């Protein structure tokens, strides 16, 4: 099924040093630039919320996916309402502060894990940050991810693990009806992205969770299995070169 339709709270879970290798990595003899490579491993901790294909960005501090309390960009809105990360990654990639963008290849199902390789070049990794964003697709305009993780703390072979919570893009009312939720709970029949914004907040905020049929909301297409408690995802970042 195709789904056309963060300061972020990040909870450090563990810091694991798996051995340090040499940092003399593939220097470009002309520019002196080095290649820094990472493996981003995302585990979906929910019972019934598939994540849309991951959007991974390596960037400097001048770029942000969003700011809590401010309105979402149209590109982020498209990701949050439809799960489509193409415009979000294109907008990021056009920014001079963005070093690299990568996309996952498919949904991250509940309990499943996805691995996304990412790499960037520079004279050093000072100022390198990593952001990941996806949509929990059985929501109206939900987001899950981590933002601004400092990659310069990692030597080759090091790993860090984080827990992520959910956010609401604030662009679509959380009606949870079959025509507005693009995920499999609504049989994928919803419209996906809609440029009109009908959430009265029109700002990114921490997601309050969903209200389901099992909670007594007769118009909701969701059931109890689509509820979640934060954290909703575990993210492991390893520097492999």
Distance separating alpha carbons of residues 135 and 147, to the nearest angstrom: 14
Number of neighbouring beta carbons within 10 Å of residue 90: 11
* pLDDT tens per residue, range 112-121: 999 999 999 9
* pLDDT tens per residue, range 147-184: 999 999 999 999 999 999 999 999 999 999 988 899 88
pTM: predicted TM-score of the whole model, two decimal places: 0.86
Task: Decide: 230 and 186 in contact? Cβ < 8 Å.
Answer: no
Q: How far is CA 201 from each of CA 8, 171, 192, 197, rounded to the nearest angstrom?
A: 18, 8, 20, 10
Task: Look at strands 158-164 and 34-44 and give their pairing.
Answer: unpaired
* pLDDT tens per residue, range 47-100: 999 999 999 999 999 999 999 999 999 999 999 999 999 999 999 999 999 999
Domain 10-239 falls under CATH 3.90.1580.10: no
The band of 19, judged by pLDDT with boundaries at 50, 70 and 90, is: very low
Task: Decide: 40 and 56 in contact? Cβ < 8 Å.
Answer: yes
Task: Decide: 20 and 157 in contact? Cβ < 8 Å.
Answer: yes
Q: Looking up tokens 């694991």, which residue turns up?
A: 16
């Amino acid at each position: 099924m195709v789904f056309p339709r963060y300061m972020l709270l990040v909870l450090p879970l563990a810091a694991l040093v798996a051995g340090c290798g040499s940092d003399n990595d593939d220097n470009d003899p002309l520019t002196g630039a080095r290649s820094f490579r990472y493996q981003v491993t995302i585990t979906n901790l929910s019972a019934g919320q598939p994540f849309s294909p991951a959007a991974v960005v390596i960037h400097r501090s001048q770029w942000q996916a969003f700011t809590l309390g401010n309105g979402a960009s149209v590109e982020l809105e498209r990701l949050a309402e439809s799960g489509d990360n193409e415009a979000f990654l294109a907008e990021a990639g056009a920014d001079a502060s963005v070093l690299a963008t990568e996309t996952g290849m498919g949904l991250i199902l509940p309990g499943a894990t996805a691995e996304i390789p990412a790499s960037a070049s520079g004279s050093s990794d000072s100022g390198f940050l990593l952001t990941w964003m996806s949509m929990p697709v059985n929501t109206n305009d939900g987001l899950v991810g981590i933002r601004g993780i400092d990659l310069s703390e990692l030597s080759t072979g090091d790993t860090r693990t984080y827990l992520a919570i959910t956010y609401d893009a604030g662009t679509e009312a959380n009606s949870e009806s079959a025509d507005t939720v693009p995920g499999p709970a609504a049989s994928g029949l919803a419209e996906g992205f809609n440029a009109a914004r009908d959430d009265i907040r029109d700002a990114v905020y921490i997601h309050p969770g969903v209200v389901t049929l099992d909670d007594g909301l007769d118009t909701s297409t969701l059931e109890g299995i689509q509820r979640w408690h934060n954290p909703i995802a575990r993210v492991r970042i390893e520097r492999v070169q």
